[in-house]
Structure 1
Amino acid sequence: MLRVSKYERTGSRVPACSAKSVEWLVCPSLCRSSLRVSLYKWVVAPPPPPLHLARFPHLPPLVVQVLYNRGITSPEEVKAFLEGEEKFHNPFRLKGMSQAVTRIRKAIRHGEPIAVYGDFDVDGVTATAILVETLRALGGHVIPYIPDRVREGYGLNKMALHSLAHKGIKVVVTADCGIRSVEEAKYARRIGLDLIITDHHSIGPEIPQAVAVINPKQEDCLYPFGELAGVGVAFKLAQALLLSNSQVPLKARSTALEEEAFYDLVALGTVADMVPLLGENRSMVIKGLRCLNSPRRPGIRALMQVAGLAPGSVDSTAISFILGPRLNAPGRLSSAMLSLRLLMSQDEREALELARQLDQWNRRRQRLMNQALEKARQKALDEMEKRMVILVADREFIPGIVGLVASKLVEEFYRPAIVMELGPERSRGSARSIPEFNITAALDQCASLLRKYGGHSAAAGLTIDTHKLPEFQERIEEIAEQTLGALDLKPTLFIDAEVSLAKLNWDVYFHLSKMEPFGYANPEPLFLSRGVRVQSSKLVGEDANHLRLTLADPKGSRLWNAIAFKMGDRISSLGDYVDVVYTLKADNWGGERRLQLCVKDIRPSEV
């Protein structure tokens, strides 16, 4: 068997934030399958040493292994993780925090107008809301500003800064943007604006000149946790302002002065931005989910009502697939100020009307995305044989849709994808990538061809002069060929343990559920059972494209219900015995609660 270091890859099935190393086993025999049966490579984690298992006699061994796979190994770490009690860090350990607090307090004291300049995604909008509410509660004169994606694009722009200065703004605080706005920062200084940058995106070759730059990814930043979302950084600034000992006259105290009032917003932005759900992020999201399930904000209550979410039903999946897309939709197609107004609204009637508008924007977004995806997919198919990187540009593509289309292309073809709105002079687009290819690092090597770009290893945005697109395509293709050319590119399922179905029970499920919320770097545990007998199988769903199975473990008499979504076409190729990868779920049917397997991949058994 080939051994692969756990931290030589950054796929979503693997936590990339622990200092501890675990090796996983690649089973070559598991990688051979027809396209019809499976598209995945399976990588199975080896069991922890027996002495390690013996340290936790009160926990099911399977749960200990899952924690071990995530680098959670000491009794103290295990206790803190399962109880969700990981401590928050002092916000003043963030580089630039003291300078930011000092300048903001001065602005409030002297009545200087402050602008909060946010990004237009959920992370940026929630970060903007936190800072606006905090500064207003502290007595500041504050206006929010979120650029129009279509007219202005991502990040700081000189026209917006000029307009803010003309309105008398003295201090601009960014929310989830600005870390690569070097020229815009120089311009802000020239026109008399004091700039404070709060961001979490990757650092470029040059850090912008500003009164303060708060980003935990700065090399000389001593903050213990570097994976905060933009809303997390904004929350830490709010926390620091509230902790500050400066004697600034405050308005009458309100709930906005209590940091607990922001956990709902932190959870929305953190989960939606797909940052690692470990450490401080996980602690804040746990608190935020409690708030979301007993929502105090009229806007969140209204959005849940329109989306059909009952109080008590919000988890990380609901944020990712129900609330997040609706909050993102206005910023994708028009102005994210609509989403900001919803989150900050104190009026029930206004909130319900805004929530309905968000829902309408989301329906339009879905239609436009499906139309663009159909066109992009055909263009991708035409070039798949000769290119490593999918690059699709079209005049009809909308800037707010291109990132979604790129994500869908990556999901289907498992190649880096760049989707561009083709303009007469300049083209803008979004890139999405696979764990084997750091897209922002690749764009760094193309910087001389680009007007603007930024992002992280898996996603980026870029702007380019249209006439340079052919040269850019050749350059990015060369880089990809050097990096990916020798690899067998298939998505990988990182499996936590190989286990007999007979070892699964409610005690295991209960302890696994304490690892929630699941998300990036804390994925839902995956298990492999081999040689499982197929007792029955049938097609279900409106289009008969899902597969419902009854499985039997050869080592036990119990039958297991299993559901395999979008795998109906495999029904004729499974055989009598299968190897199956799945997550463990609780299913309520007919008033009976029982355990069920949610199948992620399935193959004819090789046992």
Structure 2
Amino acid sequence: MRKIWNQPESVPEVVEKELDAFSPIERQILYMRGLSSLDQVDEFLNAEKISDHDPFLLKGMKEAVERIERGLLNNEKIVIYGDYDVDGVTSAALLLGTIKTFGGNVEHYIPNRFNEGYGLNSGAIEIIAAQGAKLLITVDCGMRASNEIAMAGRLGLDVIVTDHHLPGEKPPGGLAVINPKQDGNTYPFQELAGVGLAFKLAQALHRKRGLKDPEEALDLVALGTVADMAVLKGENRALVARGIKRLRRTERVGLQELAKVGRIQLGKTNTGTIGYVLGPRLNAAGRLGSAENALLLLTTGSKLQAEDIAEQLELTNRRRQDLTAETVERAIKKAVGDGDVPLILFAADEAFNEGVVGLGASRLVDKYHRPAMVCNRSGIHTRGSARSIPGFHIANAIDRCSELLVKHGGHARAAGFTMETDKEKLFAERMMRIAEEELEEGDLVPRISIDAEAGLDQLNSKLLEFFDRLEPCGEGNRKPTLVARNAKVLAKRVVGADGKHLKLTLSQKQRSMDAIAFRMGELIDELPSRIDVAFNFERNEYLGFESMQMNVVDIHW
């Protein structure tokens, strides 16, 4: 699908003068990030120095800290109730470590994706209450669990909810709710991930006791925030920047062993290695079975145990990759077939593994640039994951179908839902009508925002060093995308399994540069001798050698 390139805005003369310490291409990139003064640039380029907001500004924090302190004082059994993705598991690991540090009697509960599904459930609450717990703290879940929280109260459990998901129409109840998106909250930053909120609770507990902030937990914050694709702006940017520094020298043997099986150097960890290596392996546990191994890996002090779990997660992740490929192929046949691509894609099947339907939906969005829903149909229930495109808030759209659903929740770009199987057709039709109301023709064309034009002679180590200062990059702070015009194709070949990728050598003004175009191998026979290339400029490490390369995003001719 041909993408539209949104050309960069010209830098105003006043900004050119203000930022004259930077090169023209650097000024252009900074301006495209909304930075037009030296003070803004200084704060942005020194993200880890940004001060954290006071955790007690979060609505519900004071009550939560007081209740936890009372539980610690009375040696009450406390249970941390998590989720099975990386955000949920890192959140649970963080609070477990914090409360254990204070001598608390604390345990955890992570629901099984297949037997229990997402969030609080009545069976789990009965078990937790029967085992003598008095305080239940949710992490990365709970905002839409008012019935379960009321049940917990009847069974003698106090509940503290920490969650970053959008609230439902009905408040969840409980003793305290910590969510910057809830009504009445005045916290200055609303986009903390679940693990970010867990850290704020840990931070508040430390400050209440006059202790230093638990900076040693920021490796977990970086992992969960990046893996959950939270926006890397504001406080998230600061927490992740400091967290990556911690991660590079982490003492957690589990992460050290996970890096080994993923064949990366922890000392060079960045958002890319979290998103493409560490995160998927931790997620694999909860996708295909129980997330207990992922949590144990993050909390164990045994090197032998960590080695064993890391190897298991590596094998599980490979199975996850195979299942995802099979799911995508089948989902395309069901959602698209041989006809026109519909406005919104919907595929449900008994054969779809519930643990990879979200990945399947993401791949459909990548391929067709349409909102997509992929569902597992099992007995009387259908459980699905949805992913979306800019311009279509998928969680709000699903909210409009709430009377058809058993449970649901999510964000602008990702959501989950459960419904009775006989409601499938009605739900899909309703979502299609909503898409027809909200989506415009321009929304259906993928776009790439170009930061700056660059000649190959401008691609050098100094520019790479400037790009390093823009980190952490990710959601909300993407890597700079450059354009090289009229580049000559000196060499081309396909690489990778089944020739999926395209390896190029490009030339411009007597300067040549290697380029890799992932998933563009099919272009090799039609590629002309001269092309325009949109790309990310990066380092490439291979067999211990480092070189510069262009990572191609798109090609025009």
How does the TM-score come out when normalised to structure 2?
0.95
Q: 2:556 aligns to what?
A: 603
Supply the distance in 1 between the matched residues of 2:325 and 2:364 (Cα, whole angstroms): 12
Q: 2:140 aligns to what?
A: 176
Q: CA 1:430–1:593 in structure 2 vs 1: closer, same or farther (change >3 Å)?
A: closer
Q: CA 1:384–1:454 in structure 2 vs 1: closer, same or farther (change >3 Å)?
A: farther
Q: 1:21 aligns to what?
A: none
Tell me which of 501, 508, 517 is aligned to 1:564.
517
Q: 2:199 aligns to what?
A: 235
Deviation, structure 1 residue 541: 4.2
C-alpha root-mean-square deviation of aligned residues, in Å?
2.0
Q: CA 1:561–1:369 in structure 2 vs 1: closer, same or farther (change >3 Å)?
A: closer
Q: Does 1:456 align with 2:411?
A: yes
Comparing 524-533 with 557-566, which one deviates more in the overlay? 557-566
Supply the distance in 1 between the matched residues of 2:214 and 2:433 (Cα, whole angstroms): 49
Q: What stretches of structure 2 of length at least 5 have no aligned partner?
A: none
Post-superposition CA distance 1:74-119 (Å, at most 9, x none): 3122112212322211111111111100111011111111110001
Q: Does 1:80 align with 2:43?
A: yes
What is the total number of aligned residue pairs between the two structures? 556
Preserved CA contact (<8 Å) 1:60 1:508: no
Tell me which of 49, 59, 64 is aligned to 2:22.
59
Post-superposition CA distance 1:105-150 (Å, at most 9, x none): 0111111111100011000000001111111111211110011111
Q: Does 1:128 align with 2:92?
A: yes
Preserved CA contact (<8 Å) 2:390 2:443: no
Aligned AA (1:203): P
Supply the distance in 1 between the matched residues of 2:444 and 2:422 (Cα, whole angstroms): 31
Post-superposition CA distance 1:529-561 (Å, at most 9, x none): 2233334434444544433333333xx432333
Q: Does 1:511 align with 2:474?
A: no
Tell me which of 425, 443, 448 is aligned to 2:398.
443
Q: 1:147 aligns to what?
A: 111
Q: What stretches of structure 1 of length at least 5 have no aligned partner?
A: 1-34, 247-252
Alignment map for 1:214-233 (pairs within 5 Å): 214-233=178-197
Secondary structure at 1:312 match in 2: helix
Moved over 4 A (4+): 588-594
Preserved CA contact (<8 Å) 1:130 1:234: yes
Q: CA 1:221–1:486 in structure 2 vs 1: closer, same or farther (change >3 Å)?
A: same
Q: 1:12 aligns to what?
A: none
Supply the distance in 1 between the matched residues of 2:486 and 2:321 (Cα, whole angstroms): 41
Preserved CA contact (<8 Å) 2:207 2:213: no
Supply the distance in 2 between the matched residues of 1:306 and 1:113 (Cα, whole angstroms): 36
Q: CA 1:339–1:593 in structure 2 vs 1: closer, same or farther (change >3 Å)?
A: closer
Deviation, structure 1 residue 177: 0.5
Q: CA 1:455–1:64 in structure 2 vs 1: closer, same or farther (change >3 Å)?
A: same
Q: 1:249 aligns to what?
A: none
How does the TM-score come out when normalised to structure 1?
0.88
Tell me which of 371, 377, 396 is aligned to 1:416.
371
Aligned AA (1:385): D
Tell me which of 470, 483, 486 is aligned to 2:438.
483
Preserved CA contact (<8 Å) 2:501 2:516: yes
Q: 2:453 aligns to what?
A: 498
Supply the distance in 2 between the matched residues of 1:265 and 1:592 (Cα, whole angstroms): 30
Post-superposition CA distance 1:572-595 (Å, at most 9, x none): 433333211111123457987553
Deviation, structure 1 residue 164: 0.8
Supply the distance in 1 between the matched residues of 2:96 and 2:30 (Cα, whole angstroms): 39
Q: CA 1:100–1:588 in structure 2 vs 1: closer, same or farther (change >3 Å)?
A: closer
Post-superposition CA distance 1:130-189 (Å, at most 9, x none): 111111111211110011111110001111111111111111100110011121122222
Deviation, structure 1 residue 488: 5.9
Supply the distance in 1 between the matched residues of 2:67 and 2:550 (Cα, whole angstroms): 55
Q: Does 1:307 align with 2:234?
A: no
Supply the distance in 1 between the matched residues of 2:51 and 2:26 (Cα, whole angstroms): 23
Deviation, structure 1 residue 390: 1.3
Aligned AA (2:192): L
Post-superposition CA distance 1:169-218 (Å, at most 9, x none): 11110011001112112222222211100011112222211111101112
Preserved CA contact (<8 Å) 2:354 2:383: yes
Alignment map for 1:146-225 (pairs within 5 Å): 146-225=110-189
Preserved CA contact (<8 Å) 1:60 1:507: no
Deviation, structure 1 residue 499: 3.3
Q: 2:8 aligns to what?
A: 45
Q: Does 1:363 align with 2:318?
A: yes
Q: Does 1:267 align with 2:222?
A: yes
Preserved CA contact (<8 Å) 1:47 1:497: no
Post-superposition CA distance 1:359-378 (Å, at most 9, x none): 22222222322222222121
Deviation, structure 1 residue 292: 2.0
Secondary structure at 2:266 match in 1: coil
Tell me which of 526, 545, 564 is aligned to 2:481.
526
Deviation, structure 1 residue 571: 3.1
Deviation, structure 1 residue 274: 0.3
Alignment map for 1:290-369 (pairs within 5 Å): 290-369=245-324
Deviation, structure 1 residue 494: 0.9
Higher relative contact order (CA 8 A, sep 6+): 1
Deviation, structure 1 residue 519: 0.7
Preserved CA contact (<8 Å) 1:574 1:603: no
Supply the distance in 2 between the matched residues of 1:356 and 1:100 (Cα, whole angstroms): 38
Supply the distance in 2 between the matched residues of 1:355 and 1:508 (Cα, whole angstroms): 36
Q: 1:3 aligns to what?
A: none
